[in-house]
Amino acid sequence: MEGTILVLRKNKSFTFICMLALVLVTIGILAPYIAPHDPLKTDMINSLKGPNSMFPLGTDQLGRDLFSRILHGALNSLKMTFSLVILVFIIGTALGTLAGYFGGMIDTIVMRFCDIFLAFPGIIFAIAVAGVLGPSSINTVIVLAVVNWPKYARLSRGLAMSIRKKDYIKAAKMGGANEYQIIMRYVLPNIIPSLIVTVAMDIGTMLLEISSLSFLGLGAQPPTPEWGYMINEGRAYIQTAPWLMIYPGIAMFITVTIFNLLGENIRDILDPNKEYERK
């Protein structure tokens, strides 16, 4: 606990970015309670109203409050993004660690699958698979997990290969530890910090990937509020109601920027050479 407080005091920018990220997540969680209107309720009388006292960010073509939809969009977008990040992290780390530690046939099989998935452009492959599975939020997460797991598998494989040659691994084997105990006690704890940096850096990217599929109609489906699909809906009204694209775009820009800055700060803190480079 004291070490965590010391890190926060020493890295004020990291503390500030963490607070911003926490605010974003809190807004998403509390969206059903703080949204002033029902994001799904249509009211054609108030269709395409500009920002006013009743609707701070205006309304869409169906008279739905844009501010409420953006708040609920934060919940849906962040929920899908974190689900994707966790899924990719677990699958990629598990397969990469097994491949790197055991080597041999396991390594060959896992790496050949990585080569197959990396042979195709990521977003093109995701669009193709999403088109086959059908548009939905769950399918979007599954598709992007299939596209992104090889990155984590390759990284964890390289780290596991270097760790398995360490003297403490040999000492653990001589002490009677089995392979499972070695992986759980010595391998994973040493590779997870490097992977956490990658995860933090990828949150913004994965949010954009999810929004891209939703923008193309392959992700979240109406009437679910999701930033990518909201921007797509606003395209037809860019001249008459530009707020339909501007405000969801600003929300996405702010969120991606905050999580990118968070990833960079985590990388700086965990990089042992960073302090030396500054000096």
* Band (275; pLDDT cuts 50, 70, 90): very low
In a domain, 8, yes or no: no
Considering the entire predicted model, what is its pTM? 0.87
- Do 213 and 231 form a contact (C-beta atoms < 8 A)? no
pLDDT exceeds cutoff 50 at 204: yes
Alpha-carbon gap, residue 16 to 265, rounded angstroms: 10
Q: For residue 279, give both structure tokens.
A: 């000096």
In a domain, 254, yes or no: yes
Section 49-72 average pLDDT: 92
Alpha-carbon gap, residue 238 to 81, rounded angstroms: 27
Q: Report the chain's mean pLDDT, rounded to a whole number.
A: 86
In a domain, 74, yes or no: yes
In a domain, 2, yes or no: no
In a domain, 47, yes or no: no
In a domain, 211, yes or no: yes
Q: What is the identity of the amino acid at 262? A: L
- Do 127 and 144 form a contact (C-beta atoms < 8 A)? no
For tokens 């775009």, name the residue.
249
Q: For residue 233, give both structure tokens.
A: 């809906």
Q: What is the CATH number of the domain that holds 148?
A: 1.10.3720.10
- pLDDT, one tens digit per residue, over 38-58 is 999 898 899 999 999 899 999
In a domain, 224, yes or no: yes
Sheet strands (E) in the chain: none
pLDDT exceeds cutoff 90 at 124: no
pLDDT exceeds cutoff 60 at 179: yes
* Domains contained in the chain, number: 1
